[in-house]
Amino acid sequence: MSRSASIKDVANHARVAVGTVSNVLNYPDRVSQRTKDRVLQAIDELGFVRNDAARQLRAGHSRTIGLIVLDVGNPFFTSVVRAAEDAAALQGSAVLLGDSGHDASRESNYIDLFQEQRVQGLLISPVGDVTDRLDLLRERGVPTVLVDRLADESKYSSVSVDDDAGGYLAARHLLDIGRRRLAYVGGPTSIRQVADRLQGAQRAVAEVREASLEVLDSSGQTVLAGRDVGNQLVRRSADDLPDGVFCANDLLALGMMQSLTMMHRLRIPEDIALIGYDDIDFAVSAVVPLSSIRQPTEALGRTAIELLADEVDAMAAVSARPQHRAVIFTPELVVRQSTAG
Amino acid sequence: MSRSASIKDVANHARVAVGTVSNVLNYPDRVSQRTKDRVLQAIDELGFVRNDAARQLRAGHSRTIGLIVLDVGNPFFTSVVRAAEDAAALQGSAVLLGDSGHDASRESNYIDLFQEQRVQGLLISPVGDVTDRLDLLRERGVPTVLVDRLADESKYSSVSVDDDAGGYLAARHLLDIGRRRLAYVGGPTSIRQVADRLQGAQRAVAEVREASLEVLDSSGQTVLAGRDVGNQLVRRSADDLPDGVFCANDLLALGMMQSLTMMHRLRIPEDIALIGYDDIDFAVSAVVPLSSIRQPTEALGRTAIELLADEVDAMAAVSARPQHRAVIFTPELVVRQSTAG
DNA sequence: TCGTAACAATGAAACGATTCAAGGAATCGG
DNA sequence: CCGATTCCTTGAATCGTTTCATTGTTACGA
């Protein structure tokens, strides 16, 4: 186990100055072919690998970007993370990933850690109220982009998805295939996403005469909660039933599908058309493939990185006041058998 | 946007030497209460945050551990990652996460990156043949622990789960509840996991007279593949059917469950008892809650970190030859309604 | 042949934290 | 009151890289 080689060792071995080795690494054009070859050979022979800590120390900042998400287990975030990593790699940065798990203290720990690492910038889906900390970070030259949360453009850049539009899209689709007695199934409306999607659905329903929207409260956003609501529906008399149901997420929709089809009293989509939200992997392989609303997670992750890069540039340019942008994406309708015909 | 404060700034502000500030940070006991207070106040007033790059540079190594997994989207790995992060945090290290996505070149990029970062050690679920690179890393003082792969103990430490035992557990359970005509559903046996689980199942069946095991090949490991196999089963005559089915993973089992229950010809568990593997979140909320084999992902992640810590210590102690250990975990049976009675 | 570019290579200084030998101050026993 | 001991504090040296002013070399036109 030998101490790993430094740039100095390489310089000695190749019989050049350390500055030359550095130039080979960073500005190959400044070095003659002959010297470059010698240096590269020395690097190879010694198995030299740059020490990033030293590089950072000199540069004053790292080539990494901090990303804090609410839950890496959630496919929505996994997909955002992947896109962000790819986009960052393209511009030569790496992503440090932190999972706050909806816990404000873990979130805070990650912010500390990232600050010690002198990350170039921070992408975050905040749990707690972190605006004070983010303001401080910005003062220190570390810009932030909020992810999956709409921000006041005068303060931060952000990327988010328009849940109201998504709700509209889902309800509009049910109306388009001829359904008029709609129902919205969603957990507590205190959750912003749930409320926004409902609002969009109401907007769509208001556009069509003789269409109605019933709101069914669910105890949560899980398969089991969906099954509960479904079991209540099944007990109703036929003329009291909705003919189109929009669930606030796919888990709810899948639970509901289970209770409706299990009893074999109601057929999907003939008796009740069903649409969910999120387009999780299981949607396509449900008993009846589930229509859903897909969120552009790749674009979300990619754009977050791009906005951050803009902010980094803006901070570097002493002149300009940083200009923030709030990018709002529009979700997309995915039609499958559960709303066919 | 002010340059962030250094330890020197803090020292000036508190009217002490830089060494003293460092001591406050690292060896608080060496410093008198009075001085400590002054320094802490200065730190607070200036909003000083340690520059980790400088610390690393001096220390020669970082306080981070590299972790490369095959797919962060896979719940198995997400869970391992979370456990590893928690365990690392306990010992004061942070985890850098890389997702190779089963791609050898991405894997290689992450190894490069982690090497530049001078990680303390590396946890990896390898895609390609990386033994050469790992050997090189070890020579440089960076130990590796293989994750979810059994390693030759003379070369590496590793943590893995005994798939043979898991297969045995599943089949044994079906036999215990009185089933005798078993079937194993699994994709190509070229996948080690699939083959090992089958082998374990065969071992259990061999222990019981008049018990038989039929192997049904599936086209993959997905819900759809499971449904296909299920549809073939449904067409069989009653006396030609298995009464207990073990699927190589939960997705297959869920697909099979769909096709069996959809037709309403066969009841689970009365006609066919069904058990999967992995215990994914959806298992518990299936139409008929699915029995499964759970892998101790938390223990896997935690132990990987512990083994790595051992290796790090061993490398630091110049004397001893590092001792590798291959820890093999035993999976656990989770009984639910799909194999009740 | 000389002067001037253009191009290459050099090596000291700087980044910010930690370490450690050395010095200073306070305390205690005799 | 002295010497020994303990306890604090100091600040220069160090880690490995990048930067940049300086020096050295070559080539070219006049």
- Tens of pLDDT along A175-190? 999 999 999 999 888 8
List Cα–Cα distances, B96 to B82, B111, B117, in angstroms: 12, 11, 10
A209 has pLDDT over 80: yes
Task: Give me the mean pLDDT over the A5-10 stretch.
Answer: 95
Helical H runs in B124-191? 131-139, 163-176
What is the model's pLDDT at position A318? 61
The model's pLDDT over B7-56, given as tens digits with 9 standing for 90+, comes to 999 999 999 999 999 999 999 999 999 999 999 999 999 999 999 999 99
- Which residues, 6 or more positions from B176, have their beta carbon under 8 angstroms from its beta carbon? none
- Nearest-neighbour CA in chain B from A141: distance (Å): 6
Residue B159 is encoded by which pair of tokens? Answer: 């943590």
The model's pLDDT over A34-52, given as tens digits with 9 standing for 90+, comes to 999 999 999 999 999 999 9
List Cα–Cα distances, A154 to A139, A309, A324, B283, B325, in angstroms: 15, 18, 6, 46, 56
CATH architecture of B7-50: Orthogonal Bundle (1.10)
Q: Which residue of A has its CA nearest to B112?
A: A49
What is the model's pLDDT at position B60? 86
Answer whether A63-161+298-329 and A163-295+335-339 agree in fold: yes
CA dihedral defined by B162, B163, B168, B171, rounded to 10 degrees? 150
The model's pLDDT over A250-267, given as tens digits with 9 standing for 90+, comes to 999 999 998 998 777 789
Mean pLDDT score of chain B: 93
- Cβ contacts of A57 on chain B, cutoff 8 Å: 51, 53-54, 57
**Distance between CA atoms of residues A282 and B193, nearest Å:** 23
Percent of chain B with pLDDT over 90: 78
Mean pLDDT score of chain A: 92
What is the model's pLDDT at position B115? 95
**Distance between CA atoms of residues B90 and A128, nearest Å:** 23
Burial status of residue B289 (CB atoms within 10 A of its CB: 0-12, 13-18, 19 or more):
middle
Task: Give me the mean pLDDT over the A268-279 stretch.
Answer: 96
List Cα–Cα distances, B20 to B8, B50, B59, B60, in angstroms: 10, 14, 18, 22
CA dihedral defined by A107, A111, A116, A122, rounded to 10 degrees? 130
B50 close to B25: Cβ distance less than 8 angstroms: yes
Parallel, antiparallel or unpaired: strands A273-275 and B326-329:
unpaired
What is the model's pLDDT at position B187? 82
B88 has pLDDT over 60: yes
The model's pLDDT over B127-184, given as tens digits with 9 standing for 90+, comes to 989 999 999 999 888 999 999 999 998 899 999 999 999 999 999 999 999 999 999 9
Q: Residue closest to D14, CA→C1'?
A: B58
B141 close to B315: Cβ distance less than 8 angstroms: yes
**Is the pLDDT higher at B318 or at B270?**
B270
Å separating the CA of residue B33 from the C1' of nucleotide D2: 30
* Band (B2; pLDDT cuts 50, 70, 90): low
What is the model's pLDDT at position B285? 84
Superfamily of domain A63-161+298-329: Response regulator (3.40.50.2300)
**Distance between CA atoms of residues B35 and B14, nearest Å:** 8
A301 close to A79: Cβ distance less than 8 angstroms: yes
Nucleotide nearest to A22 (CA to C1'): D18
B4 has pLDDT over 70: yes
Query: If residue A181 lies in a helix (H) or strand (E), which one and from where to where?
Result: strand A181-186
- The CATH fold of domain A163-295+335-339: Rossmann fold (3.40.50)
Task: Give me the mean pLDDT over the B88-109 stretch.
Answer: 91
Burial status of residue A25 (CB atoms within 10 A of its CB: 0-12, 13-18, 19 or more):
middle
Contact flag B282-A282 (C-beta cutoff 8 Å): yes
Does domain B63-162+298-329 correspond to CATH entry 3.30.1360.30? no
The model's pLDDT over A125-175, given as tens digits with 9 standing for 90+, comes to 999 899 999 999 998 889 999 999 999 988 999 999 999 999 999 999 999
Using the CB atoms, write b or e for A97-115: b if 16+ within 10 Å.
bbbbbeeeebbbbbbebbb
Domain ranges of chain A: 7-50, 63-161+298-329, 163-295+335-339
Contact flag A51-B72 (C-beta cutoff 8 Å): no
A341 has pLDDT over 80: no
Task: Give me the mean pLDDT over the B94-105 stretch.
Answer: 91
